[in-house]
Structures are given as structure tokens and as C-alpha cells.
């Protein structure tokens, strides 16, 4: 009786093993060949900083001139004249601070037609009837002698005469140097609160102490 030699089940056929060894790399390479290549990512384009910047705005060829700050209005005061009994003198005067002095401008009516009248700053701001003696003497903080408005030696209150026209009307336009409109330290040259007096006669600019200008016919306080 013939017996066949049994081959152990765990023993492998060397030819098959070799075939499998050759087929596996081929299959692997085929799979690699079929795989899609990744898309190349292109580098971002460089940004043109100058191109992306907003267009500059050209300045106007002729820029507007800067507006100067408005200067403060000058200090201003007013005087209303009161007449003595038996006269009809009236007037309104404006006193304006102007650098080293003041200006006095306005109108006086009811004067003697065609005549000159003494016109002064007085030292006291009181206009009490019947004769305005309460206004005191001429404004004279420097204690100078009486004189005309152009005299070297004069009262600071010595002003030009008020010249009346044929209708008894005088226009006042006077610049007074050396007086102070108002001074927070109470300077002796300050005229705010003083008085303006009109006289019956012209000032001769030499007679002491008031120029021989006669009675006081109108008075007003600088307020």
C-alpha cells in the first residue's frame, strides 16, 4: 500500500511567494501613479504700497489768508449835559479810550450863536444846581498852571473852546493826551467819574486859574 508524503500546511510555495513579492511593489507604484498631483499654490502678488495708497489731495494754489482775531472794543463812556436855569444848553458827548489819551466827541446845542465857550474837564464828578460849583476846579493832577491845549504847561483838563455856529450848535472832536480813561490802580490821571463843564465865555488860555471863561452854564459827569 502506497503512502503519500504529506506536506506540512504551514510550508509555503516558494514560487508563489516570489510572485507575490513582485506584484506588491507594482501595485503600489500603480496606485502612486494614479494619485492626483496637488495643485501648485502660486505666491501672492506683491502689493504696491504706493498704488494702494489714497491719492493725495493737492493744496489750493492760493490758500485763504488766516483771519486775524478781532481786537477788543475800546473802553467808552458817555456824558449828558445839564443846563443851568435860564439857559437851554443840551448835549451828548462820548469819551473813548485811545492809547495814551482819550477822545471826546459829540454835540452841544443852545449856546450863544457864533461864540466860543470855555470847555474843560473838572476834578469832581458832581453837577449840582444852581451853578455847578460842586464840579470843583479844572482837572489838574500834575498841579500845573492853566494854559491852552497846546501849551507845554497846562491843566490836563484844559480843552479847546467849544465853537458855536450861527444856530448855537457846537461839534466837539477833541483828543486829550496824558489822561487815563480808567485805571484799576486808581491812577491820578483817571477821568472816569470826573465832569465836563461848559462856560459862558471863551477861555483865553492864560488867565489864572481858569482862563477867564466866566460862569458854568452846563455840566455832565463822565459815566
Active site residues: 120, 122, 138, 146, 155, 158, 199, 216
> What would the grid cell of residue 45 be?
502678488
Distance CA 167, CA 172 (A): 15
Phi/psi region, residue 205 (left: phi>0; alpha: psi -120 to 50; beta: rest), is: left
Indicate the Cα dihedral angle 210, 212, 214, 216, nearest 10°: -20
> What would the grid cell of residue 202 be?
471863551
Largest distance between two CA atoms of the chain: 187
Amino acid at each position: 500500500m502506497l503512502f503519500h508524503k504529506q506536506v506540512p500546511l504551514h510550508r509555503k510555495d516558494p514560487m508563489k511567494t516570489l510572485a507575490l513579492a513582485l506584484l506588491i511593489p507594482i501595485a503600489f507604484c500603480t496606485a502612486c501613479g494614479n494619485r492626483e498631483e496637488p495643485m501648485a499654490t502660486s505666491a501672492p502678488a506683491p502689493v504696491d504700497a504706493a498704488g494702494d495708497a489714497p491719492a493725495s489731495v493737492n493744496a489750493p494754489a492760493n490758500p485763504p489768508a488766516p483771519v486775524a482775531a478781532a481786537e477788543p472794543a475800546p473802553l467808552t463812556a458817555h456824558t449828558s449835559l445839564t443846563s443851568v436855569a435860564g439857559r437851554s444848553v443840551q448835549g451828548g458827548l462820548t469819551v473813548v479810550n485811545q492809547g495814551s489819551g482819550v477822545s471826546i466827541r459829540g454835540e452841544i446845542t443852545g449856546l450863544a450863536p457864533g461864540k466860543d465857550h470855555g470847555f474843560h474837564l473838572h476834578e469832581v464828578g458832581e453837577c449840582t444846581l444852581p451853578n455847578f460849583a460842586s464840579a470843583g476846579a479844572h482837572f489838574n493832577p500834575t498841579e500845573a498852571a492853566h494854559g491852552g491845549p497846546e501849551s507845554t504847561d497846562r491843566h490836563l483838563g484844559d480843552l479847546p473852546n467849544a465853537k458855536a455856529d450861527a444856530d448855537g450848535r457846537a461839534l466837539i472832536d477833541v483828543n486829550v493826551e496824558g489822561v487815563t480813561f480808567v485805571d484799576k490802580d486808581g491812577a491820578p490821571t483817571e477821568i472816569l467819574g470826573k465832569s465836563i463843564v461848559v462856560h459862558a465865555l471863551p477861555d483865553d488860555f492864560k488867565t489864572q486859574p481858569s482862563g477867564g471863561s466866566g460862569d458854568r452854564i452846563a455840566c455832565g459827569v463822565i459815566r
